[in-house]
Amino acid sequence: MKKRRKKDVASSQLQFCYSGEDLLRYRTGKIPPEMRARIYYHLNVEKCGRCRDIYPTIQVSQEESAPTVRKDDIIRKLRNNMGKYNVPPVPLRLDKFQVWTTSPEPRSLPGEVVDAVPMGVPVLIISPGDGRKNFGNIIRVLPISNDTGFHLEGETFLINENSPLKYPILVEIFNETPMLAGNLGEYRGALSDAQSKKIHDLRNRYLDGVEVKPDQQYLEWKQKEMKLTRYLAFPVNERLWSDAVENEADTINTIDIHLVPYRMAADAGGVELSEIAPHILAEEDSFSLAIVQKRDQALLRFHSDTLEPEEILIDAKKVQMNKKGSGFFEVMVGYSSGMPESMVIVAVVEGSRFVFKLTFNMRHDA
């Protein structure tokens, strides 16, 4: 019998908890009295297990923990430390493996707020786009969680020491998402070369479809994490869809995709079919394109006797379809238990662009 975790599957990153940055300011005294009182109550009266676990792990620099000094001492210290930073200097360009906070009110390309969440989650940049921090640049990121108790080898990467956020973090390899670079918040640092290489290799293995065996509690937590971070991709999908609508040469479609829960064969509560009827996206004389659920995976499948897909983009990221047989090509778009609410797929075939806005929902009556 598997040992259950001694914690709720509800994400740590919810509105009734505080971020690592809040706890750091509380520990160093750099916080308004009202908020200090609320955090004190949260830690010592409500006794939040998550925040009480994180609090002692927060690393405080000597500058942040220094005692109060007189004004002339402050001036002398500033002169002696010209050019030194208490926080990492903001880089001129975005790059891989940088850690940033995100805005809780993501904006679209025109600058309009498209969603609002109680607290933005920190992210690790995995693809920096053109390197600029503006709304015209689409980047890809891995959300970062405080829920280190849910570490699962193959799907997450645990950093206990030398964390840019100054407390242990869990990088969610399974939760990669696009976002507009203009919705990044503050720069928090970058991973070491060794950490970066491990995440690079782990992500490649994950994209290759290496199987892991999560327990039900982990799956529930994973689904909540994916739901929690969907706000990051909303502005991207809005932009891609707007561009497609404005381009009269594009063939555009909106399609609802119904997925079903998948369980092991021994679990009578789930679907045991190895493959479920495809959802047709496009059916032309020379090719067809469909979403197929195979076990717990949602796949994009291209079939043609004479053609190959020239280009496939999923939420603005170019992907390579794998040849699975004569005339068949596939690429995984996600897992049935954690698909985003929406996704924009662009397929270029024989010089024509086909744009699909997909919305996903789980059907439990199968």
Q: What is the mean pLDDT of the segment spanning 86-100?
A: 87
- 203 and 116 in one domain? yes
pLDDT band at 216 (very low <50, low <70, confident <90, very high): confident
Residue 166 has pLDDT above 60, yes or no: yes
| Amino acid, single-letter form, for residue 261 | P
Among the candidates 183, 199, 232, a domain finishes at 232
Residue 280's CATH number: 2.60.40
Among the candidates 199, 232, 265, a domain finishes at 232
pLDDT band at 1 (very low <50, low <70, confident <90, very high): very low
- Summary count for the chain: helices (H), strands (E): 8, 17
- 344 and 265 in one domain? yes
Q: What's the domain range around 266?
A: 247-362
- 254 and 223 in one domain? no
Q: Is there a domain that residue 242 lies in?
A: no
CA distance 338 to 262: 12
- 174 and 60 in one domain? no
Q: Is there a domain that residue 287 lies in?
A: yes
Cα–Cα separations (whole angstroms), residue 227 to 14, 224, 234, 304, 317? 12, 5, 12, 35, 20
pLDDT band at 133 (very low <50, low <70, confident <90, very high): very high
Q: Which two tokens stand for residue 339?
A: 């698909």
Report the percentage of the chain scoring pLDDT > 90. Answer: 20
Q: What is the mean pLDDT of the segment spanning 30-45?
A: 80
Nearest to 24 by CA among 14, 35, 34: 35
| Bridge partners, residue 282, by sequence | 289
pLDDT band at 14 (very low <50, low <70, confident <90, very high): very low
Q: For strands 352-362 and 251-259, give the pairing.
A: parallel
- 110 and 182 in one domain? yes
Q: What is the mean pLDDT of the segment spanning 46-55?
A: 75
Split into its structural domains, the chain has a count of 3
- 113 and 37 in one domain? no
Cα–Cα separations (whole angstroms), residue 363 to 25, 228, 234, 292? 44, 20, 23, 15
Q: Which two tokens stand for residue 94?
A: 């975005």
- 287 and 227 in one domain? no
Residue 193's CATH number: 2.30.30.110
pTM of the entire predicted model? 0.62
46-55, 304-313, 315-324: range with lowest mean pLDDT: 46-55
Q: Is there a domain that residue 281 lies in?
A: yes
> Which has more pLDDT, 27 or 252?
27
Among the candidates 49, 80, 111, a domain finishes at 80
- 345 and 291 in one domain? yes
**Residues written for the chain:** 366
> Which has more pLDDT, 132 or 22?
132
| Bridge partners, residue 153, by sequence | 156
- 213 and 315 in one domain? no
Q: Is there a domain that residue 239 lies in?
A: no
> Which has more pLDDT, 330 or 339?
330
- 338 and 265 in one domain? yes
What confidence tens digit (pLDDT) does each residue in 285-318 have? 899 999 988 877 888 999 999 998 888 888 777 7
